[in-house]
Structure 1
Amino acid sequence: MSPEKAQAYWKENITTILKLLVVWFIVSFGCGIIFINELNAIEISGVKLGFWFAQQGAIYVFVILIFVYVKAMTKIDEKYGVDE
């Protein structure tokens, strides 16, 4: 792989990671701490939504983001010819 192509590969990889980290930050810190009062106005099955995000929602989103990352990196690897 040429140095230019390798640099483009890593730039796309880091960009993907940063986007996913921003989503995780918004869900875990934003929904679990900052917007908790607004979200607590919504109840689902007797559980306040802000509490749910703080206790379980952020973990579910993190697991989903792992699968999104795997899918995104598979596409990037195929694009740059470094897939297995």
Structure 2
Amino acid sequence: MSNEPKKIDAKGYWSATVRLTVSLLIIWFVVSYGAGILFRDVLDNFSIGGAPLGFWFAQQGAIYVFVALIFYYCHAMSKIERKYGVKG
């Protein structure tokens, strides 16, 4: 048994990290800009808690999704770090 550190696949690690970050940014953009601004008129046909859905996403929904994305990012990065042997 040697005490040599495990070789890290830096290219694979950064590729997975960038892929995760870009996909979460796309989700964040679609929810905040798309649901709150672009698709607001369509979403306003539905309501949540008495408020039109488009308004709800613009005021509160995007924030809830953003917080959920932060927790998911932490979980996913932990998995990526374990997979590629990166110690934090």
Q: Which has the higher helix share?
A: 1
Question: Which runs of structure 2 are paired with 1:1-84 in the superposition (5 Å)?
Answer: 1-2=7-8, 5-84=9-88
Q: Distance in 1 between matches of 2:49 and 2:77?
A: 37
Give the structure-1-normalised TM-score. Answer: 0.92
Displacement of 1:38 in angstroms is: 0.5
Give the structure-2-normalised TM-score. Answer: 0.88
Structure number with higher relative contact order (C-alpha < 8 Å, ≥ 6 residues apart): 2
Larger Rg: 2
Alignment match, 2:4: none
Question: Structure 1: which 5+ residue stretches go unaligned?
Answer: none
- Helix, strand or coil at the partner of 2:61: helix
Letter in 1 for 2:82: E
Residue 20 of structure 1 contacts residue 65 of structure 1 at CA under 8 Å; is this kept in 2? yes
User: Percent of aligned positions with the same letter in both sequences?
Assistant: 52
Cα deviation per residue 1:8-48 (whole Å; 9 max; x = unaligned)?
Answer: 10011000000000000000000000000000000123210
Displacement of 1:83 in angstroms is: 3.1
Residue 48 of structure 2 contacts residue 56 of structure 2 at CA under 8 Å; is this kept in 1? no
What root-mean-square deviation, in Å, do the aligned CA atoms of Structure 1 and Structure 2 show?
1.1
Cα deviation per residue 1:45-70 (whole Å; 9 max; x = unaligned)?
Answer: 32100000000110110000000000
Q: Distance in 1 between matches of 2:14 and 2:23?
A: 14
